[in-house]
């Protein structure tokens, strides 16, 4: 078996010594990479997720790899539930005494055509990705950041051209992009910066590969990416750490796309079947219509 990869960072040792962060969805994929880099840089982390069993296992594993004085704790929290989010923030404040960073990474969706969504399915995705992010931001602000400042990073998605078969999450993530801008303006006076990171769908993680069920699905992306390779979870984590750090002290309300240039080129894996349902409009058609009135 290959030796486990040593966690490290492009940032200097101790950059976040004594800081405190909450990472939602921090036990898997991108969230786990963010948690591990923060711990490496000395930041105490509370990871939160809905699935307690999986979160505890991930936390136990991550604890073994901590090389800084930082501490890691975990809390079961369904970000759709207002009371659970209030509890996550208050328990973190009790455990670590403050809250410097909030990373809203928890999210979820299922692939389907929009016309087939039940209202329950639609609401579940909007509540997790949009409302859950809002609740975490609001509680972090009301319980700590209004008085003490802080930095928030929202993880969104490559939804710039729509996400066919995932329209619910596309709508929710676009809303978080806009929420980021509004909150940056409203909360600037409290010393809060808030930005987003938008990973491309070409970011490879074992969690994402397992969700897709077909790891090869990632390889289909490569021709459509200007950098001609998949992205790594570390490449998301490093952008998050940049936005949390003083290196971005003059950046707020911004979204960084981490997608190898894919959103500028073509990311569509969705093929629209040939059809003849679109009728052209010309002035001639208009005259004909008027003459019939
Ligand atoms: N990850 C996916 N869904 C979640 C939820 N509802 N709460 C917290 N983390 C999640």
The residue nearest atom 7 of ligand 1, judged by CA position, is 78
Find, among 56, 57, 64, the residue nearest to 39 by Cα: 64
The minimum-distance atom of ligand 1 relative to the CA of 127 is 6
Q: What is the mean pLDDT of residues 10-32?
A: 98
CB of 26 within 6 A of ligand 1: the answer is no
CB of 27 within 6 A of ligand 1: the answer is no
The minimum-distance atom of ligand 1 relative to the CA of 79 is 7
How does pLDDT run across 107-120, given as a tens digit for each residue?
A: 999 999 999 999 99
Find, among 26, 30, 33, 72, the residue nearest to 49 by Cα: 26
CATH number of 20-292: 3.40.50.720
Q: What is the pLDDT of residue 290?
A: 74
269: pLDDT confidence band, cut at 50, 70 and 90?
confident
291: pLDDT confidence band, cut at 50, 70 and 90?
confident
Mind spelling out the 3-state secondary structure of the chain? CCCCCCCCCCCCCCCCCCCEEEEECCCCHHHHHHHHHHHHCCCEEEEEECCHHHHHHHHHHHHHCCCCCCCEEEEECCCCCHHHHHHHHHHHHHHHCCCCEEEECCCCCCCCCHHHCCHHHHHHHHHHHHHHHHHHHHHHHHHHHHHHCEEEEEECCCCCCCCCCCHHHHHHHHHHHHHHHHHHHHHHHHCEEEEEEEECCCEECHHHHHHHCCHHHHHHHHHHCCCCCCEEHHHHHHHHHHHHCHHHCCCCCCEEEECCCHHHCCCCCCCCCCCCCCCCCCHHHHHHHHHHC
How does pLDDT run across 139-149, given as a tens digit for each residue?
A: 999 999 999 99
How does pLDDT run across 30-72, given as a tens digit for each residue?
A: 999 999 999 999 999 999 999 999 999 999 999 999 999 999 9
CA of 55 to the centre of ligand 1 (A): 11
Mutation choice for ligand 1 from 30, 32, 128, CB with most ligand atoms inside 8 A? 128
The minimum-distance atom of ligand 1 relative to the CA of 80 is 6
CB of 150 within 6 A of ligand 1: the answer is no
Q: What is the pLDDT of residue 214?
A: 75
210: pLDDT confidence band, cut at 50, 70 and 90?
confident
């Amino acid at each position: 078996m290959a030796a486990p990869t040593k966690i490290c960072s492009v940032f200097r040792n101790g950059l976040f010594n004594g800081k405190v962060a909450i990472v939602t969805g921090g036990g898997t994929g991108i969230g786990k990479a963010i948690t591990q880099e923060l711990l490496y840089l000395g930041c105490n982390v509370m990871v939160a997720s809905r699935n307690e069993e999986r979160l505890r296992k991930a936390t136990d594993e991550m604890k073994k790899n901590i090389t800084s004085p930082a501490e890691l704790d975990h809390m079961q929290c369904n970000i759709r539930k207002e009371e659970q989010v209030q509890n996550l923030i208050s328990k973190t404040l009790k455990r670590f005494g403050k809250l410097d960073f909030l990373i809203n990474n928890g999210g979820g969706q299922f692939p389907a055509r929009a016309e087939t969504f039940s209202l329950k399915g639609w609401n579940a995705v909007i509540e997790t990705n949009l409302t859950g992010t809002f609740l975490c931001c609001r509680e972090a602000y009301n319980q700590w950041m209004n008085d003490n400042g802080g930095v928030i990073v929202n993880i969104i998605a490559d939804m710039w051209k729509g996400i066919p078969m995932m329209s619910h999450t596309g709508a929710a993530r676009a809303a978080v992009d806009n929420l980021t801008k509004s909150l940056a303006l409203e909360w600037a006076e409290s010393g809060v910066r808030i930005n987003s990171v938008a990973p491309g769908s070409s970011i490879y993680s074992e969690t994402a590969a397992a969700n897709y069920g077909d790891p090869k699905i990632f390889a289909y992306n490569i021709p459509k990416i200007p950098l001609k390779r998949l992205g790594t979870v570390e490449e998301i984590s490093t952008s998050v750490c940049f936005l949390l750090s003083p290196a971005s002290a003059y950046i707020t309300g911004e979204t960084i796309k981490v997608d190898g240039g894919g959103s500028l080129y073509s990311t569509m894996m969705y093929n629209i079947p040939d059809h003849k349902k679109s009728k052209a409009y010309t002035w001639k058609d208009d005259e004909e219509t008027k003459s019939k009135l």
